[in-house]
C-alpha cells in the first residue's frame, strides 16, 4: 500500500506537547517592523504563537518586504508552523502638505482654507493632496486631522478651495492625515502605488491582501478583477474604516474574502463610543457569510513601552474573542514596540483563558446569528452543520476536512465547534490561508487525489503527529470521489485503531 510521505506535511509541532485539545481557535496577526524583523525575534514570535505576519505597505520598500517574506517562509518551513502572509495596501490616504516652519498652530475659532497643493504658501492656507475635494464635501461637514486630534468644520466652498473653521485645534505637523467622516469621497480604492505593490505581492506569493478605505462592494470587485487579470486568486480582506462601508457591510461581506475592523480610523471617522457597536456589526456580517473577521488597532497599545498589558486591554482582547473574532491583530506593539514577543504571549494567554471557559457552554454550533431557513441551505452548509453536530455528540478529537479550496473548512468554522478543524489540501497556498480561519489548522498532503491511500493512512499519520491517540474518534468530510474534484458530499465517522 502507498505510504504517505512525511515530507510535505505541515503542522504545528506543539500538538505533541499540548495535544489537539489544547490548541487555540482564535488566531494572532503581528505586523513586522524594526522590532520584529530579525531572524531571532521572528522565530520567537512564530514559535510563540504568531499565525499571520502582516506587511504594512504604508512603510518600507519592496526590498525590505521581500526580505521579510523570505524570512517568514524559511522559518515557517524549518519550525513546521504554517504562517500566512498578509499584504496590507496603503490605500488613498489624504494628508496635509509641507508647512511653513515645520508646523502650523491652528487656533480654535479661526478660519483656514484647504487648498490642493504640496506646500504651504500662506499662514491661513492648509495644503492637502486631494485635488477633487470640492466635488465631495458640503458646508457643515466635519474635517478631522492628525488621527482626530483636530476638528474643523466646513463653512464655505469658494471655487476649488474649501474654507474651514477650527473647533478643536493645536500644532499641526506636516504630512498628518486628513479625514472627512461625513462625506463619501470619490477617491479610487487603488492608487498607482497600490497597483505596483499588489503586483509585487502576487509575484512573491502573499497569502492575503488587505484593501484599505473600502467604501462599497465595487471597491472589492475592482481589486479582485485586477488580481484575476494578474493570474492569481489571492483572497481579499476588506478593511472597514470608513462610515459608508458600515452602511453596506453585508454587501461587502458577500464579495470580500474577509473583513478587518480597523478601529483606529473608524474612531476618527465616527464617534469613538460607536466603535464597539461597529465591531459587533462587522463581526456579525462575517459570521453570516462565513468570512473571517480581524479585530485590529490598539489591542495591547501600552505594551509598546511596558512589559505588561493594562486590565482594560486584557478585557478588550477577551471581548473580541468572546464576540467571535477569527483573528486579533497587533500593529505597533510588534512592529516597533519594546516587547514584541511578550505581546504575542499575552495574546496567547488571554485567548486560551477565554476559550477554556467559553467552550464549556453547550451547543456552540446552534447560534441563531448563523442560522437561516433550512430550505435555503446549500449542500455544503448542511454537511458543515452535520459535521459539527456529529463531532460534538461523539466528543470527537478533530474534524478532518479534505479540501481543494478551503471553503468547507470556512463553512464548518462558521458554526464555531469546540472540536478543532484539520484542513488537508494538496495546495500549499490553501494550507497557508487556513492560518486565518478560526479553529482551522492546515496540513499539506500531496496524495490528496489517491482516495484509498489517503483515507487508509490518515489515522496513523495523525497519531504520529500527536493529533489523536488510539480509541479517539474523528469526523472526516470530503468530496467523493476525490479525484473527480467533487464538492463536499460525505461525512465519515472513524475511530482510531
Q: What is the pLDDT of residues 240-296, one digit of tens each?
A: 998 899 999 999 999 999 999 999 889 888 788 999 999 999 999 999 898 999 999
Per-residue pLDDT for 390 more than 70?
yes
Helix (H) or strand (E) holding 3: none
Cell matching residue 437: 480561519
Which pLDDT score, from 0 to 100, does residue 370 have? 45
Give the model's confidence band at 147: pLDDT under 50 very low, under 70 low, under 90 confident, else very high: confident
Which pLDDT score, from 0 to 100, does residue 486 have? 64
The catalytic residue among 54, 263, 385, 410 is 54
Domain boundaries defined on the chain: 24-91+189-353, 100-179, 364-495
CA Rg value for the chain: 24
Tell me whether residue 239 is one of the annotated catalytic residues.
yes
Pairing of strands 161-168, 111-116: antiparallel
For the segment(s) 364-495, the CATH number from 3.50.50.60, 3.40.30.10, 3.30.43.10, 3.40.1380.20 is 3.40.1380.20
Which pLDDT score, from 0 to 100, does residue 334 have? 97
Tell me whether residue 364 is one of the annotated catalytic residues.
no
The catalytic residue among 73, 93, 95, 176 is 95
Which pLDDT score, from 0 to 100, does residue 461 have? 78
Which pLDDT score, from 0 to 100, does residue 403 have? 87
Give the model's confidence band at 341: pLDDT under 50 very low, under 70 low, under 90 confident, else very high: very high
Q: Which residue is associated with the grid cell 495591547?
A: 300
Span 67-86, pLDDT tens digits: 999 999 999 999 888 899 99
Which pLDDT score, from 0 to 100, does residue 187 have? 85
Q: How many CB atoms lie within 10 A of CB 3?
A: 11
- Residues whose CB falls within 8 Å of the CB of residue 294, separated by 6 or more in sequence, listed in order: 29, 237, 258, 259, 260, 261, 325, 326, 327, 328, 329, 436
Per-residue pLDDT for 19 more than 50?
no
Per-residue pLDDT for 39 more than 80?
yes
Give the model's confidence band at 360: pLDDT under 50 very low, under 70 low, under 90 confident, else very high: low
Which pLDDT score, from 0 to 100, does residue 21 have? 52
Which pLDDT score, from 0 to 100, does residue 452 have? 65
Class for the domain spanning 24-91+189-353? alpha beta
Q: If you ran DSSP here, which 8-state letter would residue 100 be given?
A: G
**Angle ∠(443,445,446) on CA atoms, nearest 5:** 155
Which pLDDT score, from 0 to 100, does residue 175 have? 85
Range of lowest pLDDT (85-99, 219-233, 462-476): 462-476
Number of H helices, E strands in the chain: 17, 21
Q: Tell me the whole-structure pTM to 2 decimals.
A: 0.87
Tell me whether residue 297 is one of the annotated catalytic residues.
yes
Which pLDDT score, from 0 to 100, does residue 177 have? 87
Range of lowest pLDDT (34-43, 400-409, 446-455): 446-455
Q: Which residue is associated with the grid cell 465595487?
A: 218
For the segment(s) 100-179, the CATH number from 3.90.1150.10, 1.10.600.10, 2.40.33.10, 1.50.10.20 is 2.40.33.10
The catalytic residue among 297, 419, 473, 477 is 297
Give the separation between CA 237 and CA 260, rounded to whole angstroms.
7
Contact predicate 86/236, CB 8 Å: no
Per-residue pLDDT for 316 more than 50?
yes
The catalytic residue among 24, 27, 43, 239 is 239
Tell me whether residue 95 is one of the annotated catalytic residues.
yes
- Residues whose CB falls within 8 Å of the CB of residue 356, separated by 6 or more in sequence, listed in order: none
Q: If you ran DSSP here, which 8-state letter would residue 483 be given?
A: G
Amino acid at each position: 500500500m502507498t505510504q504517505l510521505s512525511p515530507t510535505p506535511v505541515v503542522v504545528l509541532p506543539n500538538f505533541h506537547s499540548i495535544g489537539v485539545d489544547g490548541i487555540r481557535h482564535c488566531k494572532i496577526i503581528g505586523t513586522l517592523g524594526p522590532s520584529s524583523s530579525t531572524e531571532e525575534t521572528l522565530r520567537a514570535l512564530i514559535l510563540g504563537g504568531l499565525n499571520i505576519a502582516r506587511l504594512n505597505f504604508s512603510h518600507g520598500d519592496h526590498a525590505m518586504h521581500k526580505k521579510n517574506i523570505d524570512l517568514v517562509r524559511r522559518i515557517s518551513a524549518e519550525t513546521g508552523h504554517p504562517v500566512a502572509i498578509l499584504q496590507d495596501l496603503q490605500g488613498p490616504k489624504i494628508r496635509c502638505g509641507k508647512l511653513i516652519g515645520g508646523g502650523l498652530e491652528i487656533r480654535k475659532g479661526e478660519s483656514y482654507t484647504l487648498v490642493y497643493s504640496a506646500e504651504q504658501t500662506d499662514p491661513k492656507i492648509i495644503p492637502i493632496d486631494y485635488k477633487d475635494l470640492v466635488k465631495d464635501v458640503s458646508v457643515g461637514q466635519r474635517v478631522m486631522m492628525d488621527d482626530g486630534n483636530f476638528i474643523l468644520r466646513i463653512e464655505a466652498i469658494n471655487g476649488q478651495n474649501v474654507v474651514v473653521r477650527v473647533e478643536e485645534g493645536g500644532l499641526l505637523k506636516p504630512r498628518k492625515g486628513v479625514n472627512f467622516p461625513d462625506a463619501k469621497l470619490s477617491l479610487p480604492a487603488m492608487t498607482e502605488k497600490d497597483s505596483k505593490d499588489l503586483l509585487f505581492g502576487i509575484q512573491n506569493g502573499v497569502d492575503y491582501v488587505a484593501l484599505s478605505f473600502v467604501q462599497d462592494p465595487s471597491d472589492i470587485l475592482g481589486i479582485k478583477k485586477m488580481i484575476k487579470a494578474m493570474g492569481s486568486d489571492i483572497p481579499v480582506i476588506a478593511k472597514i474604516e470608513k462610515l459608508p462601508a458600515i452602511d453596506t457591510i453585508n454587501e461587502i461581506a458577500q464579495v470580500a474574502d474577509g473583513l478587518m475592523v480597523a478601529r483606529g480610523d473608524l474612531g476618527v471617522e465616527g464617534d469613538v463610543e460607536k466603535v464597539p457597536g461597529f465591531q459587533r456589526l462587522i463581526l456579525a456580517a462575517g459570521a453570516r457569510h462565513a468570512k473571517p473577521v480581524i479585530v485590529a488597532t490598539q489591542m495591547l497599545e501600552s505594551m509598546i513601552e511596558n512589559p505588561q498589558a493594562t486590565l482594560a486591554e486584557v478585557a478588550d482582547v477577551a471581548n473580541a474573542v468572546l464576540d467571535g473574532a477569527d483573528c486579533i491583530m497587533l500593529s505597533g506593539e510588534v512592529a516597533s514596540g519594546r516587547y514584541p514577543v511578550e505581546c504575542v504571549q499575552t495574546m496567547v494567554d488571554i485567548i486560551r483563558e477565554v476559550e477554556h471557559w467559553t467552550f464549556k457552554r453547550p451547543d456552540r454550533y446552534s447560534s441563531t446569528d448563523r442560522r437561516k431557513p433550512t430550505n435555503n441551505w446549500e449542500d455544503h452548509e448542511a454537511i458543515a452543520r452535520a459535521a459539527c453536530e456529529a463531532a460534538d455528540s461523539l466528543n470527537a478529537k478533530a474534524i478532518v476536512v479534505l479540501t481543494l479550496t478551503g471553503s468547507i473548512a470556512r463553512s464548518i468554522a462558521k458554526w464555531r465547534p469546540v472540536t478543532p478543524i484539520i484542513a488537508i489540501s494538496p495546495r500549499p497556498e490553501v494550507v497557508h490561508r487556513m492560518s486565518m480561519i478560526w479553529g482551522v489548522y492546515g496540513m499539506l498532503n500531496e496524495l490528496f487525489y489517491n482516495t484509498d491511500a489517503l483515507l487508509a493512512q490518515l489515522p496513523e499519520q495523525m497519531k504520529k503527529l500527536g493529533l489523536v491517540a488510539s480509541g479517539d474518534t474523528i469526523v472526516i468530510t470530503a468530496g467523493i470521489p476525490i479525484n473527480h474534484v467533487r464538492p463536499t458530499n460525505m461525512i465519515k465517522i472513524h475511530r482510531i485503531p
